[in-house]
Amino acid sequence: MSAPLLKIAARQGSRRAGSSRVWRNGSSRHASTTSAGPPSHTSPGERLAGRLQNATLGATALTAASVLYYHLSRPVVHLDGEAAMPGGPQPKRATKATVQHDVPKSALGAQYGSKEDVQRAIAELRAALPREGAVNTDPHVLEFYGSSDKSYHPASPHSVVVHPVSTEEVVEVVNVARKHRVPIVPYSGATSLEGHFSGYPSGSICIDISGMNKILEIHEGDSDLVCQAGARWEDINETLKEKGIPLFFPLDPGPGATIGGMIGTGCSGTNAVRYGTARGEWFLNVTVVLPNGKVVKTRRRARKSSAGIDMTKLFIGAEGTLGIVTEATLRLAPVIPTKVAMAQFPDVEHAVSAVQEILNTPAGPHIQCVELLDDHMMKAIADAGLVSETYPTRDTLFFKIQGDPTAIDSTARTVQDIVAKHSSAYFKFANTEDEAEELWESRKYALMSTIESEEGARCWTTDVCVPVSRLPELVYETKKDLEESKLHSTIVGHVGDGNFHAFILFKKDSELQAVSDAVHRLVHRAIALDGTCTGEHGVGVGKREYLAEELGPDTVELMWTIKRAIDPLDIMNPGKLYPDVPENDKKSGA
């Protein structure tokens, strides 16, 4: 097996073994290699992982064998680029997923280089980045990087995958791509769900920044740090913990997500109810390589600034269509003690009403997370058998409460009183760290439990977001629709901000259209409730058709005006994010 394919196989297991980082200490930078030390105690989650260790090793070996088979026989298979839960049990996955080669064309009608131009570009990339492994054209690697079994949107292999390690090397890649008019597609954590890193049919350069994963500077006194865009949020927080720095980066999307991808999709996560999203002030500045090869830094490191347009925000949610983010300065938050509680309700409406009241009390600022797992999800968790303790099949809220001991106790009493007023039949508060981790297991393993609950099932994951008061209506109508469509599904909601994820299961390719139609109806239902087609997954290929309905044609045209000004050749991740434009606009704007 080739080295690149071995690297891909290795990524199927844990990627947390260790990573090289560079720290700034005074005026010099010192390289150091860090790895997580032994835990101080064995948590319930770790005990669960230990019980399933043999199964995990077997799954990893099976994945490696699958890659070898893939390398030899070229079946139409999507291999995961990231474990569903690094270091934990892996869900069983169906081995076949259909690859479609109809990624949307450039909406600007851009003319890209010929096959000969692409080959010339590859030759120039090899000369510019002569380092071994920096430029890869293995056809199986190209297909791997151009698709994902987490997504059922159109996909196409790339022409070449490039692995830069610095902003300067990214500039080299962009200059070659512009010279030969070859599209560039950014790639990092491979956790996106809407086809963000699909290849372009005429040929594309995939620029994998996952190797640019260094933390460059930590400013503890200023509560910020500077890192490369390939750094993962979990590794950043683990490093701060290992160094004894009582700070953390609070945005927490899926495991394996990198800072560059988090910026590109405008991510959030379970902590959003307390800390907000990527569109808040958590990114103080970004360093970006523009399509013309220039490098810009959007602002200085000051905590606030009113100097002109906020250029940082221009790239948050742009999904690599305006430039390649290579570095970022992150604002950090203090680590605060946290406890966990749960409450069960007769229906979603009672649960959401309780949350609205809790967040509007003085206890509200102490709520770090408030997660809704519907009754179908609680049943899937019980059926899958991945958690230490199961609970009745009811709509359930899981809370994380943070503060000093006095604040936590006071908030817990407030939560208990309010949920009881809203017909909660069961309330549980975790008094110790072990109890808290055990209670949170149900939320942690939600997606895996959904997949494990049905043998051989595949899962289409989508998200929408509505005003919190409209969430019960949306959940009710969606569950009714899915039941009438005879589709098995579960729901997880970041109920504090109206965002929810639907996990829709299917086994046969013939069921895929029904799932797609159900997602389509869900999105239109959310927009009709004054919501959005995506709360945190981003647009990519999968949600671009809904932007005109959600934002209006004039707002979409403004987006295109910005895109044309910065990327007139439309080489930055074409076919993603922006809806199609009328033919006459293509002619005037291309």
pLDDT tens digits along 64-91:
433 343 333 332 222 222 233 333 433 3
Q: Is the dihedral of CA 9, 163, 117, 319 positive or negative?
A: positive
Question: In this predicted model, which residue has the larger pLDDT, 337 or 43?
Answer: 337
DSSP letter, residue 88:
S
pTM metric for this prediction: 0.82
Q: Which tens digits make up the pLDDT trace of 101-145?
A: 455 667 777 899 999 999 999 999 999 999 999 999 999 999 999
Residue 89, SS3? coil
Flag whether pLDDT at 241 surpasses 70.
Answer: yes
d(CA 246, CA 314): 31
Q: For 366-401, how does the pLDDT look when each residue is reduced to its tens digit (9 = 90+)?
A: 999 999 999 999 999 999 989 989 999 999 999 999
Give ∠ CA 417-468-442 in degrees, rounded to 5.
65
Confidence category of residue 583, pLDDT binned at 50, 70, 90: low
Mean pLDDT of 44-58: 42
Three-state secondary structure readout of 316-381: CCCCCCCCEEEEEEEECEECCCEEEEEEEECCHHHHHHHHHHHHCCCCHHHEEEEEEECHHHHHHH
DSSP letter string over 498-522? TEEEEEEEE-SGGGHHHHHHHHHHH
197-224, pLDDT tens digit by residue? Answer: 999 999 999 999 999 999 999 999 999 9
**pLDDT beyond 70 at 99:** no
Q: Could you give the strand order of the β-sheet that contains 135-136, starting from the edge strand earlier in sequence?
A: 135-136, 160-162, 205-208, 184-187
Gap between the Cα atoms of 423 and 464, Å rounded? 27
> 401: which 2 tokens?
């409460």
Environment class of residue 549 by beta-carbon count within 10 Å: exposed (0-12), middle (13-18) or buried (19+)? middle
CA distances from 291 to 76, 327, 395, 539, 568 (A): 33, 16, 48, 21, 9
Q: Of 561, 564, 560, 540, which is closest to residue 185 (Cα–Cα)?
A: 540
CA pair distance 450, 432, nearest whole angstrom: 28
What is the rounded average pLDDT of the residues 457-477?
94
Give mean pLDDT, residues 321-348: 97
pLDDT of residue 216: 98
Token pair, residue 336, equals: 């605060």
Examine the pLDDT at 93 and tell me if it is beyond 90: no
For the segment 14-37, the average pLDDT, to the nearest whole number, is 37
Whether the Cβ atoms of residue 103 and residue 155 lie closer than 8 Å to each other: yes
Contact 185, 207 (CB under 8 A): yes
Higher pLDDT, 94 or 168: 168
End-to-end Cα distance, the chain? 44
Q: Is the pLDDT of residue 173 over 60?
A: yes
